[in-house]
Chains A and B, each alone.
Chain A
Amino acid sequence: MIGRAALGLAAAVLAAFLLAPERFAPLLRPLAANGAPPIYTQTSLLGLTLWHLALVAAAVAASTVVAVGLGILVTRPGWRDVLPLARTVTSVGQTFPPVAVLALAVPLMGFGSGPTLLALFLYGLLPIFENTLAGLTGLPPAVTEAARGMGMTPAQRLVQVELPLALPVILAGVRLSAVIALSTATIGSTVAARTLGEVIIAGLLSSNTAFVVQGGVVVGTLALLIHAGFVWLERRLAPGGPSDRR
């Protein structure tokens, strides 16, 4: 989609901005009206970025564990009766607006990162679960037959054959969830989660467009980079991809 050079440049500019944001002040000053500060300084941008990434990573990791586990479970013989339920739960999880989940979770979990984690977790389940199902059920029958013929136990077949083959498809699901979570996490700052949304909200409250733009651009660039990273990983892990040709 975007050339490697452009991605490298984006990464370099992002790193430079996070390490020394004040250098970029002249660039953002035209957006800050009435002599307002052009760079958000209440909290370190680098620190907020790391918090943001940690929150997204934790939520996506939880979604991945649950959704892949559920995907494995409902494709085992004898557990098919759970499939319709798992489908319903994951798809309703994504129909629930994340802001609504966030707001409803506040009385249970209080202000802070908890509600955001829950909202991102629920929202991220569907893509990973659907892709795990597609990956595990779409295996060529010849492969699973061969594994059975070799005398592998069901557990061995799962770990050594089915999961490795389904991995690129599962990763594509994780990528979708991660990219969505990255931008959705900003909303968490409306209930006091530490994310880059803090910068954007500060901009909204003080009508300082410079804050809004820097928060938005940092999150957007992170999303592009993470998207590209996952695509690279998927290609490497694809059957017949570079990692196979050792």
Chain B
Amino acid sequence: MAAAAPARARVTLSRPGVLFAAIGLAGLALPLVQFRANRIVAGEGASLPGALGGWGWIAAAALAAALLVGVPARTPARLRLALALGGVLVTVAALGASAGALTPPGDRIARVSPSAGFWLLGLAFALAVADALARIGLAFRQRWALLAGAVAVVALVLGSGLLDDVSVMREYQARRDVFAREAGRHLLLAFGSLGAALAVGLPLGIAIHQVPRLRAGVLGGLNIVQTIPSLALFGIMIPLFGWVAATVPGAAAAGVAGIGAFPALVALFLYSLLPVVSNMVVGLSAVPHGARDAAVGLGMTRAQVLAQVMIPLTLPVVLAAVRIVLVQNIGLAVIAGLIGGGGFGSFVFQGLNQTAMDLVLLGTLPTIALALVSGIALDLLVAQLDGRRGRGT
């Protein structure tokens, strides 16, 4: 049993450190990359030393050392953070260098893709970064700087050409323009539906708060929308708006269509409404009576109390809804790719159909990155607002 761990081990070993080391060392033992002579044939794995020779041994030794330094509980959190960040960078650099070394010069057909070893090393160091950050407890300003720095480093690495020989980047180079278009489409789907949900949902939440009779009907209806599986909701929107565009005069001219991004946008909008509306209602009803009474005592009208006192106080709760909706929509927008709505999902489903995993990665990696960055940024924002409020009162 867990509680029966020997006391000596509890003093000297960091359990998370042991876990990261186990994952990372397993990653070092497994092939880092997979080499295929072309996109279709079966591949063969290559370990770090196998791909890079002497430099590979050095890199592997450095990574193993970084993992083992994290094992003793005494290792300070800042050192852990530095080692973990270094580990991530070395792992990514090793991927790029291995791809460059394994690809014969001038060969545009050979594919070198990340394999189990790369993913496990990445996982171990990413977890170590997260764990170290949680231990250090940085100030908000530093956390923002770190997030911005991470995004900048990713952009720099991608722009530097370091990874250009890796299969995913090969897929990217082959369809630069399409990628830019689908990225724009994905952002439009995720942020557009969020914007629409805020524009409709916040007033709706205020209305429900003012007229409680509406509450059960509206929230009940929006709850039922949530139970409809996303695939079906997307699918229902296509004929529905196709029909609207064909029969309602002026609808087609206004951009309503049964194909393309419009049905997906509406489906995402419908999913987004419940968190926005219900959080607005919760936020308004959580405003302390004292604040409301004080505002009335100052001679404010009912509308002024609402606009100047109550709505500003709901900001953290509304931001929490924005976090839920945005992360959820970035993920759900992938499904638009299945119904011709575009976005990163079109790479994912194209890749699945052709069993071309590099193409699947080209769709999933940016989606995951977008979801993570949005989630972390909004978590920070919510925590910051809560903290400020805690100090203010």
Contact = CB atoms under 8 A, between A and B. Distances in A.
A96 B360 CA distance: 15
B232 A97 contact: no
B131 A84 contact: yes
Contact of B227 (A78, A179, A204): A179
B371 A95 contact: yes
Contacts of A212: 232, 235-236
Given A88-B127, A103-B360, A200-B232, A97 B371 contact: yes
Contacts of B351: 103
Chain B contact surface mostly: helix
A84 B227 contact: no
Contact of B2 (A79, A92, A186, A203): A79
Contact of B348 (A88, A99, A186, A203): A99
Contact of B231 (A78, A82, A187): A187
B195 interface: no
B349 interface: yes
Contacts of A1: 216, 220, 223
Contacts of B368: 96-97, 100
Interface stretch (B8-16, B51-59, B89-97, B206-214): B8-16
A184 to B, nearest CB: 8
A95 B375 contact: yes
Interface in A194-242: 196-197, 200-201, 203-204, 207, 209, 212-213, 215-217, 219-221, 223-224, 227
Nearest to B240: A209
Given A1-B220, A223-B227, A97 B330 contact: yes
Interface string B203-238: 000000000000010001001101111111111101
Contact of A216 (B232, B330, B364): B232
B357 interface: yes
A190 interface: yes
A88 B134 contact: yes
Interface stretch (B138-146, B279-287, B332-340): B332-340
Interface residues of A, number: 55
Given A97-B334, A103-B348, A84 B231 contact: no
Q: Which of A84, A106, A196, A224 has the most CB of B within 10 A?
A: A84
A138 interface: no
A191 interface: yes
A89 B127 contact: yes
Interface in A48-79: 73, 76, 78-79
A190 B229 contact: no
Nearest to A154: B3
A203 B238 CA distance: 11
B3 to A, nearest CB: 6
Interface string B1-28: 0110100001000111001000000000
Contacts of A92: 130, 372
A98 B331 contact: yes
B251 to A, nearest CB: 19
Interface string B368-393: 10011001000000000000000000
Contact of A104 (B3, B220, B233, B364): B364
A141 interface: no
Contacts of A78: 3, 5, 10
B130 A204 contact: no
A182 B230 CA distance: 11
Given A85-B131, A203-B235, A213-B232, A96 B371 contact: yes
A149 interface: no
A97 B131 contact: no
A207 B227 CA distance: 22
B272 interface: no
B363 interface: yes
A151 interface: no
A179 B332 CA distance: 16
Given A81-B14, A84-B135, A215 B227 contact: no
Interface in B227-257: 227-236, 238-239
4 closest A-B pairs by beta carbon, nearest first, are A216-B232, A97-B331, A84-B134, A212-B235
24 contacts: A1-B220, A76-B3, A78-B3, A79-B2, A84-B134, A88-B130, A88-B131, A97-B330, A98-B331, A99-B335, A183-B228, A186-B232, A190-B349, A196-B229, A201-B231, A204-B234, A204-B339, A213-B236, A215-B229, A216-B232, A220-B227, A220-B232, A221-B227, A223-B227
Interface of A: 1-2, 31, 73, 76, 78-79, 81-82, 84-85, 87-89, 92, 95-100, 103-104, 106-107, 154, 179, 182-187, 189-191, 196-197, 200-201, 203-204, 207, 209, 212-213, 215-217, 219-221, 223-224, 227
Given A81-B15, A85-B127, A204-B238, 18 more contacts: A76-B2, A78-B5, A79-B2, A85-B131, A92-B372, A97-B368, A97-B371, A99-B331, A99-B334, A100-B331, A100-B367, A103-B352, A103-B364, A184-B230, A187-B229, A190-B338, A212-B235, A216-B233
